[in-house]
């Protein structure tokens, strides 16, 4: 039966129908040579454990494999034990599989809950560390030598990256497991985008990357949006642009009209992204080749940006070529309050 296990495993990993057909031809022969349907079902159930139940293919492959199992193997067993006994065995095994899936899902949920508690508790000391580093860099405890300035600056940059990862973890958990409450209000994007860009001046100087003056064109610059989410999105995109742009490169921010709304673009002259990676860029925990090579981040930042933009009725896209830089584009609607999503909290405009 080892051959049956291997071929079925190959089908579960690849989804190729030819593997499925081959697996059950082997299963037919096994039944004919004396193996019981129960043994075949056990192997089938064990093989399905290879898939993560959060994988979108899990349920599809499980259902398809179960259908073929009943369709192809049941007639052989019915010749010996009868139709009702065969169906009873299949139902029992399917129930065991369902319980296994439920148990695994609960364990994953408990693990993620634990991770979120730990992550939340880590935020406080990381914030405190960042404030202390700011005091030191600003000379509150005495003048610094150039070497001390360089070391503390590197520590500050690491602290900023760590805090960003913690925020991404917490926000991703919120979007994946709850309905986030967004506070919608008219937001003037010019001061917001300027402020976000200013936050990265020090990091850009450390990398010798030029932050070009933001370009604001067109008539529209006020949108209905959640300010905290917009700041988080812009911080992620600007941080990514700096991370993957070499010394001497440039990062640009541009705001233009787009139909009745606006388009925000974050452009860089960095390493770029391959066409293969572009297709998966906004998937949870996915990292493009440059990110995998540098071993930075967790592949949550862009996934979270995508979730946040969708929650506000917007759209985010990326265009890039390896070695030619990258442009992230965000499209947001206009200031018509009637377009606010119904299941979100609306923040009253200040008088």
**pLDDT tens, position by position, 304-321:** 888 889 888 899 999 998
The whole-angstrom separation of Cα 101 and Cα 346 is 38
Q: Which residue has the higher pLDDT, 158 or 274?
A: 274
The pTM of the full predicted model, rounded to 2 decimals, is: 0.56
Q: Which residue has the higher pLDDT, 154 or 70?
A: 154
The whole-angstrom separation of Cα 187 and Cα 313 is 15
Q: Residue 322 corresponds to which tokens in the numbers above?
A: 């390896």
From the options 3.30.565.10, 3.10.450.50, 3.30.465.10, 3.40.50.2000, give the CATH code of 184-339: 3.30.565.10
- Share of residues in the chain with pLDDT > 70 (%): 65
Q: Which residue has the higher pLDDT, 152 or 262?
A: 262
**For residue 287, what pLDDT is reported?**
73
**pLDDT tens, position by position, 167-185:** 767 777 676 666 677 788 8
Strand partners, 346: 184
Place 25 in a pLDDT band, splitting at 50, 70 and 90. Answer: confident
**At residue 19, does pLDDT exceed 90?**
no
The whole-angstrom separation of Cα 193 and Cα 234 is 8
Domain ranges of the chain: 2-81, 109-177, 184-339
Q: Residue 198 corresponds to which tokens in the numbers above?
A: 């200013």
**At residue 70, does pLDDT exceed 50?**
yes
- Mean predicted confidence (pLDDT) in 100-128: 72
- Taking a C-beta distance cutoff of 8 angstroms, is the pair 41, 89 a contact? yes
């Amino acid at each position: 039966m080892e051959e049956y296990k291997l071929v079925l495993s190959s089908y579960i990993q690849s989804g190729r129908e030819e593997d499925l057909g081959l697996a059950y031809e082997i299963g037919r022969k096994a039944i004919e040579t004396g193996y019981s349907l129960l043994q075949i079902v056990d192997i089938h159930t064990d093989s399905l454990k290879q898939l993560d139940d959060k994988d979108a293919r899990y349920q599809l492959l499980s259902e398809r494999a179960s259908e073929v199992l009943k369709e192809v193997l049941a007639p052989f067993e019915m010749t010996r034990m009868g139709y009702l006994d065969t169906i009873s065995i299949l139902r029992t095994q399917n129930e065991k599989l369902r319980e296994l899936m439920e148990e695994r899902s609960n364990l994953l949920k408990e693990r993620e809950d634990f991770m979120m508690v730990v992550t939340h508790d880590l935020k406080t000391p990381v914030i405190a560390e960042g404030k202390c580093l700011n005091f030191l860099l600003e000379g509150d405890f005495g003048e610094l030598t150039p070497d001390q300035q360089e070391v503390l600056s590197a520590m500050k940059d690491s602290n900023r990256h760590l805090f960003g990862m913690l925020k991404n973890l917490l926000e991703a958990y919120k979007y994946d497991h709850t309905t986030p409450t967004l506070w919608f209000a008219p937001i003037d994007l010019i001061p917001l985008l300027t402020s976000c860009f200013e936050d990265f001046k020090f990091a850009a100087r450390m990398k010798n990357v030029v932050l070009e003056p933001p370009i604001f064109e067109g008539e529209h610059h006020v949108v209905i949006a959640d300010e905290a989410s917009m700041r988080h999105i812009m911080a992620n995109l600007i941080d990514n642009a700096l991370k993957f742009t070499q010394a001497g490169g440039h990062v640009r921010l541009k705001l233009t009209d787009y139909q009745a709304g606006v388009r925000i673009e974050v452009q860089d002259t960095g390493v770029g992204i391959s066409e293969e990676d572009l297709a998966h860029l906004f998937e949870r925990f996915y990292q493009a080749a440059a990110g995998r090579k540098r071993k930075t981040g967790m592949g949550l930042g862009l996934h979270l940006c995508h979730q946040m933009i969708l929650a506000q009725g917007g759209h985010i896209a990326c265009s890039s070529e390896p070695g030619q830089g990258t442009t992230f584009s965000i499209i947001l609607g206009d200031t018509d309050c009637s377009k606010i999503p119904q299941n979100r909290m609306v923040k009253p405009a200040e008088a």
